[in-house]
Chains A and B, each alone.
Chain A
Amino acid sequence: MPDSLHPAPLAKPTLAEVEAFLYGEARLLDERRFEEWEELFTADGYYWVPTEPGQTDPLTRVSIFYDDRALMRRRIQRLRHPDIHVQDPPSRTVRIVGNVRADHEETEDSRTLHLHTSSLIVLEYRLGTQRSFGGLVTHALTRENGSLRIRWKKVELINADGVFGPLAIPF
């Protein structure tokens, strides 16, 4: 029997649990609840959107986003600033998350990372212009105090190496 000295192995999330988590994350971003979104990440979590298909390293090639928690907070602080001109008026977005699949598991220090991939479509409307973005998303999820948290999230846009108009909010 598990006890405090011999805890049960951390439960692998079910696909339904991961789907609910990803839908919830998408809704937080659509509703501009950025602070709550940031809290989904582990303390050492990061959010990455590469500039090149197949990019493996965020340190030797530039990225559209490569945010640790501190930079996420900077970004969100700016999103709340009254003088963020590029969000005056703010973007409206709607996200569709689909094709959620369990990929593989990795062990990192004493943590287990559960990698899941999903397809993401984001529609964004601002000042008379609608844009669309899409790509493959990988979430490396881990359990902390029973809850799923994001160790890292990578968004591989199909047009990663394309030319972008100004972007302000995470995908």
Chain B
Amino acid sequence: MSIGIPTAQAQAPLQTSDVASLVRQDRVHRSIYQDPAIFALEQRQLFGKAWLYIGHESQIPNPGDFVTLKLGTQPVVLVRHKDGTVHVLYNRCGHRGAVVCNEPKGNAASFQCCYHGWTFATDGALVGVPQRKGYAADIDLRDPSLGMVRLPRVASYRGFVFASRAADGPDLDTFLGPVRKSIDDIIALSPDEEIAVVGGVHKYEFRGNWKHQIENLNDMYHPFFSHASTVEKDGRQFQRRSGDTEGAQIGGQSGGPNAVFEKIPLRGFPFGHSLCGAMPFNGERGGPVFEEYRRRLIARHGEERTRAILTVDWHNTIVYPNLCLQSAAQHIRVINPVAVDRTEVYVYPILLKGVPDPINHDVIRYLNVTHAAASLIQTDDLEAFERIQSGIETDGADWLVLARGADKDVEEADGSWSGIGTSELPMRNQYRAWTRYLSEGAL
């Protein structure tokens, strides 16, 4: 029986009521990765409603500082206004619609459109119209829609700036819920309790749907196979963290290829968020630079709390649908769908204030190895994502299987889900949220 919306017949607008038929408890229909109508629905219902990560306040420390970005295909500007408030503006002139600012980042007293010179304040308000007398008296130049329109909701959690394209919905604290702890954990790594997202950005893309990437991040089933080319004979991977003497144990132990990963805890949270437990690093970190770093943490927090801070108990935390934090190769990753079969990903190193410089240099060096476009790790996953996008073109079968460990999912009293190891729980949790978002009015 064929279920779903064959691409060739997708002439009629997709109904939100059709969406539930594409997601089963343990599998999803291939059209959710292929159908431009579903992509458009996702853009409206999911990316148009959820809180999306935009950037970090350390990227715009001073009034007038801005960075330009894309949300999907929509150009936006993250900017700090002269009164210190942070805004996310659609990068669009209120007159004839041209992109106003082409600079990747900078500082501006105002933004001026190249075409007819309309000028906008850093909060988006229209402040200058050349030869203003040419407009009839009844045109209201104070109309916000003639400015650079603001995204209706912008909020920050400890410097992480999120925005929503929807005027209404749950507030940011409600949306983040338990994953706020992951942001707290990263900030705690800084002896000054402050991070800086000023180390540049890796940008990579793949010819595939964005959900391949978001499904991959807490998939503990894939590393042994996908990343086989990075594993030494002793089953260890290369070093990833400052002060370590060796890399994580990926394989080479008794109990089958994934013995190590079978022990890693998984959690699924409301709104599709999830995390996986820490990578199998073992052994004490050390060396003079690391000891100096540890000493600075102890000076602030004492021994016991420092030990807890340095033992981050998660590896990847996904804030669904567009953000992932990673603790080992410490970074912020933003997933940006640009078409149903094309995705861009931006990876920003998280630098720590108050550490010896070599600690931050190591963050940058290791992130090059793991997440550059030429990285030793990420590239094998991208190959898999592109092969999925090609493979599901076949008419062999319509469904992709996310059944692993489904009989062991545990729903906790607080509405979260627990599982272990190579379970596909994080993906099932994502599709619970996905279905809710895409079903009109259900959120």
A78-B229, A86-B380 given; A167·B361 CB < 8 A: no
Known A165-B382, A167-B379; judge A81-B374 contact (CB<8 A).
no
Q: Is the CB of B203 within 8 A of A86?
A: no
Complexed CA–CA distance, A159 and B347 (Å): 17
Contacts of A78 in B (CB 8 A): 229-230, 376
By beta carbon, the residue of chain B nearest A61 is B200
Instruction: State A74–B228 Cα separation when bound (angstroms).
Output: 13
B312 within 8 A of A: no
Asked whether B228 lies within 8 Å of A51 as measured between CB atoms, the reply is no
Complex contacts, A165 vs chain B, CB 8 Å: 204-207, 373, 382
Contact residues of B between 223 and 242, Cβ < 8 Å to A: 225-226, 228-230, 238
- Determine how close the nearest CB of chain A comes to the CB of B5; give it in whole angstroms: 28
A83 interface contact, C-beta 8 A: yes
A-binding segment of B77-85, B118-126, B256-264, B364-372: B364-372
Evaluate contact between A162 and B380: CB separation under 8 angstroms: no
Q: For the complex, give the distance between the alpha carbons of A166 and B201 in Å.
A: 15
Q: What is the CA–CA distance of A81 and B361 in the complex, to the nearest angstrom?
A: 29
B window 343-402: CB within 8 A of A? 344, 347, 349, 360-361, 364-365, 367-369, 372-374, 376, 378-380, 382-384
Instruction: Give Cα A168–Cα B229 distance, bound, in whole angstroms.
Output: 12
Whole-angstrom CA separation of A159 from B54 in the bound complex: 23
B229 in contact with A163 (CB, 8 Å):
no
Known: A83-B228, A84-B229. A62 touches B383 (CB 8 A): no
A94 at interface by CB-CB < 8 Å: no
Interface check B104, CB cutoff 8 A: yes
Which listed residue, A55, A62, A64, A161, touches B349 by the CB 8 Å rule? A62
Given contacts A78-B229, A78-B230, contact A62 B201 (CB under 8 A): yes
Query: From residue B224, how far is it (CB to closest CB) to chain A in Å?
Result: 10
A51 surroundings in chain B (CB, below 8 A): 200-203, 372
Q: Mark A59-98, 1 if CB is under 8 A from B, else 0.
A: 1111111100001001100100101111010000000000
Q: Within residues 67 to 88 of chain B, which ones have a CB less than 8 A from any CB in chain A?
A: none
A81 and B228 alpha carbons, distance in the complex (Å): 8
Indicate whether A120 reaches chain B with its CB closer than 8 angstroms: no
A74 to chain B, nearest CB (A): 6
Q: Which of A37-75 contact B (CB under 8 A)?
A: 49, 51-52, 55, 58-66, 71, 74-75
Q: CB-CB < 8 A to B380: which residues of A?
A: 84-86
Nearest CB in chain B to that of A74: its residue: B238
Check A161–B379 contact: CB distance below 8 A: no
Q: Does B199 contact A (CB under 8 A)?
A: yes
CB distance from A32 to the nearest CB of B (A): 15
Q: Is the CB of B228 within 8 A of A63?
A: no
A160–B200 Cα gap in the complex (Å)? Answer: 12
Contact of A71 among B104, B344, B369, B383 (CB under 8 A): B369
Complex: chain A residue closest to B331, CB-CB:
A62
Q: A65-B374, A161-B104 are in contact. Are A83 and B229 (CB under 8 A)?
A: yes
Residues of A that sit less than 8 Å from B by CB = 49, 51-52, 55, 58-66, 71, 74-75, 78, 81, 83-86, 88, 161-168
B-side interface residues toward A, CB under 8 Å? Answer: 104, 199-207, 225-226, 228-230, 238, 344, 347, 349, 360-361, 364-365, 367-369, 372-374, 376, 378-380, 382-384
- Closest CB pairs A-B (n = 9): A164-B373, A61-B200, A81-B229, A167-B374, A83-B228, A166-B379, A84-B229, A59-B361, A86-B383
